[in-house]
Structure 1
């Protein structure tokens, strides 16, 4: 028997392996080049729990920095990023960091759905009417007293 030659993956370190698996990609958000989050830093979960009741801008900046890189929040603020934009970026970043590849459009849709309370908007009057007209079924029967003629008895 000949000795099996180890595959390259058996001789490389975990760091080399992980670098090949988690190749960093970047995107530009409001003029700032950021790495697309590929994994949630373990510290983020801990800090989220610790800071869940905090409204401090420094705490928010810390969390954003852990996910997107240092000073991102300040740079986005300087670029006049709006609150809705920020919510979309957070939804996008958190989803990608959890391993769900989400587009900016999908993140926007998630934010809009959450803003609506998780419900689809109520249909307008025309939509409701078209839905009832689209069933194609017969009308409800009406009483013969209001639509029928009086019954005549035959004479024998």
Structure 2
């Protein structure tokens, strides 16, 4: 399974909203500019996230988007499934060789376990730790 730009950019949107949680609405324009992405493309991605109840839109001059629940309650798996569909490395049928089918099921379940155990809060925490603990090189 290859995660497309839909899933990757969708996680970018959600991580930005999580990082700014409690600060009020965030515009897609600011996210697009920060990450050098197309605002129009982000608009296409935020619609299914809103329909799935993961984000709320706020109208008006100072409007934008906010998470509909805490970052600890939203997993990467939810975001990926909304934007990419079911998680599966390959399409398989009951007629497939049982050994191969078992392999595909174990791979699918492992990917799902990682995505479903990774919250937006943990992604933000990891991102912030990476910025603080950057390496110092001396020549």
Name the TM-score, length of structure 1 as normaliser. Answer: 0.24
Name the TM-score, length of structure 2 as normaliser. Answer: 0.26
For the pair shown, the structure with the greater C-alpha radius of gyration is 1
Higher relative contact order (CA 8 A, sep 6+): 2
